[in-house]
Structure 1
Amino acid sequence: KAKSIFDLASSLSGGNQQKVVFAKLLTSELDVIILDEPTKGVDVGAKSSIYEMISDLAAQGYGIIMVSSEMPEIIGMCDRVAVMREGRITAFLNRPSISQEAILQHAMADEAPLNNRA
């Protein structure tokens, strides 16, 4: 909620700053967007707006790679999850088998990591 178009993005709330970042992304010719903790530090209302933007981008054909430490965010937003432990992928989960239990099982299990494969 800027007072004028000349206000700096740094004067905006965290959620609105995130929206500015999304707007900048869309001015480039991109096929894949990597989002690292896209809703960290923003309020619930801003999170909802950001989730809606991410869903709209995916519906438009963009590939979205989201890195998040928030389990509800991963479960609610992702079609496919790569679970990691100690910097290595231990499992790939596809919807509808993405759950908190499945993610934690693969994140905490003493199992050999998968080879790097997509």
Structure 2
Amino acid sequence: RGIDVGAKQEIYKLMRDLSVEGKAIIMISSEMPELLGMSDRIVVLHGGRAVATLDKDEFDQATILRHASGMDVAPLTETEAS
């Protein structure tokens, strides 16, 4: 499914090179490790609308999934989770 590993690595290298040159890149992916590893900023969509724009220091898998699922609620603190 999708492109082979070698082609994917070539695409990643091209994206990194373009980014270093100051170019903006729009990447669309449903693969979370790919998104987390390649992105400086992520725009999360839900129901066809942008629901969050997160910079690298603001996003992790849980935050992205919370926005993407439409369950945009504050995460529980340790006290609330116990």
Shared topology, TM-score over 0.5? yes
Which of these residues, 96, 101, 106, is aligned with residue 57 of structure 2? 96
> Take 1:107 and 1:54, find their aligned partners in 2: how far apart are those partners?
24
Q: Determine the structure 2 residue equivalent to 1:72.
A: 33
The alignment's C-alpha RMSD in Å is: 1.6
Identity of aligned residues (%): 47
Distance 1:76 1:110 in 2: 24
Once the two structures are superposed, residues 68-107 of structure 1 have per-residue CA deviations (whole angstroms, 9 ceiling, x without a partner) of 2221111111101010100011111111222111110111
Aligned residues: 72
Q: TM-score, normalised by structure 1?
A: 0.55
Structure 1: 5+ residue stretches without partners: 1-39, 112-118
Q: Which structure would you say has the larger Rg?
A: 1
Q: Gapped runs of 5+ residues in structure 2?
A: 73-82
Length-normalised TM-score, structure 2: 0.76
